[in-house]
Structure 1
Amino acid sequence: MANFITDLTHEIAALWREFHWLPEWAVITLVIAVFMLIGWAANQLVFWLLKLAVRKRDLFWRGLVGRARLKVRIMVMIIALALAVTVSPMDPGPSASIRQALGFAFILMLGWTAIGASDMWAIIYMRRFNMAEEDNLIARKHVTQTRILQRVAALLIALVTLGLALMTIGAVRQWGMSLLASAGVVGIIAGLALQPLLTNMIAGVQIATAQPIRLDDAVIVEGEWGQVEEITSTYVVVKLWDWRRMILPLSYFITTPFQNWTRETARLIGTAFLYVDYEAPIDRLRAELERICRASPLWDGDVVNLQVTDISDRVAQIRCLASARNAPTAFDLRCEIREKMLAFLRDECPEALPRQRQLNSGMSEDGALPAMPER
């Protein structure tokens, strides 16, 4: 290849001597135009061959070729321009600077192509899973892993690509070596500056492998209930129940205790507490709770129970348990149980209402309580 370029340079120099009446800039422009035209034709031929080669391959290769069309075209044009500058009768100083800049751009394009390939792999892999399913635990697990690893891979490829590109420029070659090897003063400064980023990157790898959280998990963080909406390479977005977004670093979920209501399954047991008088008919209340749950489309048909969990000097505490298929449904089911049990107590079992509440409703204007009725 080097001999070919040398011979081509000599041929162009000899041709220029024959047409010495042309200015140098015209010859340089003509050479660049010819090589760019050759590069465009080579790009068309390469992509025709690639499309022919992957026509019967799987979706990954076909998608990769489609996404890389622009990147490969730019790289081919960079190569053509570099060859044109090399063989043209240009001064050695500007020619070397232009080739150095083109080499820098070519390495960046290679990194961009590698990131596109990793993104394509992630897209094809995530197509296997349906996040819209009712029981999407397996889908959330794999999609979470893929998205985190995809972003970490993109970041690592970008750092390595930038380091290699900087090493092609003599003035900043040490920066590229420091970026790749984390050595020298520049590497130490960069390491200190990037410490939060690296901490979150390592935390992202831990989350992708151990998976304390996944996309769409119901969690309680900082005393707030919400669902994991997005996991990036550095932070997690939690959509709170009132549509606010809480932004937390990835390291938070490695170092801080939090509640994950859907760690193993999306199903939850909802709790609703009632406070009733001692004369409340517990068996009737239990039967009413079962009737409410069986009639509700929110109940998953598994757990329903009513128990007296505490007694004070005035009322008894009753806990109603009912299971649902996910956290939002469990919340709605708890509200429905409270509303319908309250209506049942008011209409069918008024004697079960707390006695102190009945006394307060009959209080006179001066605040005196009426005489207690005999039982």
Structure 2
Amino acid sequence: MNTVARLLTALTGSVLLALAAGWAADLLLRRADARHPETPLWQLLRRCRRSLQIVLIAALLSGLLRAAHGRIDWPPLTEHRAGIAHVLSLALIGAGAWLVVHTSSAIVESAYARYATGTRDPARVRRVRTQASLIMRVVTAAVAVLALAGMLLTFPGFRALGTSVLASAGLIGIVAGIAAQSTLGNIFAGFQIAFGDMVRIGDTVVVAGEWGVVEEITLTFLAVRTWDERRITMPVSYFTNRPFENWSRGGAQMTGSVFLHCDHSAPVAQMRERLHEILLGCPEWDGRGWDLAVTETTPSTIVVRAVVTAKDASDVWTVRCAVREGLITWLTEEHPEALPRLALATPERQGVTMN
């Protein structure tokens, strides 16, 4: 009975010690965050408390199990010592991987937050955001693979297969490379997009005839949110093998145009004045520039082009719609003769006799 009591006391003490260590670490991080609120790292590191406590509990219990070997002769513990040690090893590897991922995520997010706070260029902020997102995905995948490999190696059967697996690694690598050629191409294309600054999260792009905003970039696919809330998902290799429009490259400012077909008698000078009035009443117009000119003539109509500017693609779309609607309404109410007319000739004028 004394053996069981000592074992339970040591077990309870190990758990309480791990919980106290996690609580102390959280307290220190809260104080550091209060003293340095400009650094988000301390607040983000507080998410590691649970994983840290599990790592400490597993490590302390493993040490306790080794220390009890030969000293505590309790039949249930002696019979299941190997199984308990194996479970603790798996818990230690899994919790350690969880702690590494949380710590890496906190460091990367803190670095991005500080960069975004001190940088006024939104294009650079989107670039760093894309790179940070892909870096965390790579780190998470690498840590998960290593943790899984470490767990499998704790099983004797997998250790026995290690020699044959390593011997055939070259052949397996060749076969896997051929089979996963498309996937590997997408992964390398993802790195090329992230660090080549081709496209970033938040960029306005036109792909496959669809206009939208880049919402997510992973190592294998890219998601574009269209103006009508649809999501287009495509492999990242699409952006390295095909041309596409990136309206956010070189700045988000945009210039748009509106084309109207009018009659030859249309008052172009008054239309130009009306266009300026419409723009002055449109909050999305950024005031950088505007113009109206006749760009083409046909035997029956003229083509009038209005040029407007806005701070981004979304606003330029709104300005174009406002200009188009305003000019058509004004022509309909004030100058209906300026609208295009379709002249139909009667049969008598064409010299055709009706029977």
Q: TM-score, normalised by structure 2?
A: 0.80
| Residue 80, structure 1, aligned to residue 60, structure 2 | yes
Alpha-carbon distance change, 189 to 63 in structure 1, aligned in 2, over 3 angstroms: farther
Partner Cα distance (1:181, 1:154) in 2: 28
Partner Cα distance (2:212, 2:313) in 1: 10
Alpha-carbon distance change, 185 to 102 in structure 1, aligned in 2, over 3 angstroms: farther
- Show the counterpart of 2:254: 268
**Following TM superposition, by how much is the alpha carbon of 1:333 offset from its aligned partner in structure 2, in angstroms?**
0.8
Alpha-carbon distance change, 48 to 277 in structure 1, aligned in 2, over 3 angstroms: closer
**Following TM superposition, by how much is the alpha carbon of 1:324 offset from its aligned partner in structure 2, in angstroms?**
0.8
**Following TM superposition, by how much is the alpha carbon of 1:116 offset from its aligned partner in structure 2, in angstroms?**
0.4
| Residue 36, structure 1, aligned to residue 22, structure 2 | no
- Show the counterpart of 2:334: 348
1:179-194 matches, within 5 Å, as 183=169
Give secondary structure in 2 for the equivalent of 1:300. strand
Q: Do the aligned residues in 2 keep the contact of 1:272 with 1:334 (CA within 8 Å)?
A: yes
**Following TM superposition, by how much is the alpha carbon of 1:80 offset from its aligned partner in structure 2, in angstroms?**
2.8
Partner Cα distance (1:214, 1:36) in 2: 51
Deviates more, 1:288-297 or 1:241-250: 288-297
- Show the counterpart of 1:125: 111
- What percentage of residue pairs aligned between the two structures are identical? 32
**Following TM superposition, by how much is the alpha carbon of 1:337 offset from its aligned partner in structure 2, in angstroms?**
0.9
Give secondary structure in 2 for the equivalent of 1:239. strand
- Show the counterpart of 2:263: 277
Gaps of 5+ in 1: 1-21
1:94-133 matches, within 5 Å, as 94-128=80-114
Q: Do the aligned residues in 1 keep the contact of 2:255 with 2:309 (CA within 8 Å)?
A: yes
- Show the counterpart of 1:67: 47
Partner Cα distance (1:99, 1:194) in 2: 38
Partner Cα distance (2:243, 2:231) in 1: 19
Task: Tell me which amino acid in the other structure corresponds to 1:150.
Answer: M
Aligned length: 338
Give secondary structure in 2 for the equivalent of 1:302. strand
Match 1:207 to one of 193, 214, 227: 193
**Following TM superposition, by how much is the alpha carbon of 1:66 offset from its aligned partner in structure 2, in angstroms?**
1.8
Partner Cα distance (2:194, 2:84) in 1: 43
Alpha-carbon distance change, 62 to 135 in structure 1, aligned in 2, over 3 angstroms: closer
Partner Cα distance (1:81, 1:288) in 2: 81
What is the root-mean-square deviation of aligned Cα atoms in Å? 3.6
Alpha-carbon distance change, 312 to 209 in structure 1, aligned in 2, over 3 angstroms: same
**Following TM superposition, by how much is the alpha carbon of 1:115 offset from its aligned partner in structure 2, in angstroms?**
0.6
Task: Tell me which amino acid in the other structure corresponds to 2:14.
Answer: G
Deviates more, 1:347-356 or 1:86-95: 86-95
Partner Cα distance (1:257, 1:182) in 2: 41
Q: Do the aligned residues in 2 keep the contact of 1:182 with 1:191 (CA within 8 Å)?
A: no
**Following TM superposition, by how much is the alpha carbon of 1:52 offset from its aligned partner in structure 2, in angstroms?**
6.3
Give secondary structure in 2 for the equivalent of 1:301. strand
Task: Tell me which amino acid in the other structure corresponds to 2:102.
Answer: G
**Following TM superposition, by how much is the alpha carbon of 1:185 offset from its aligned partner in structure 2, in angstroms?**
5.6
**Following TM superposition, by how much is the alpha carbon of 1:181 offset from its aligned partner in structure 2, in angstroms?**
12
Partner Cα distance (2:164, 2:227) in 1: 46
Partner Cα distance (2:210, 2:155) in 1: 51
- Show the counterpart of 1:5: none
- Show the counterpart of 2:278: 292
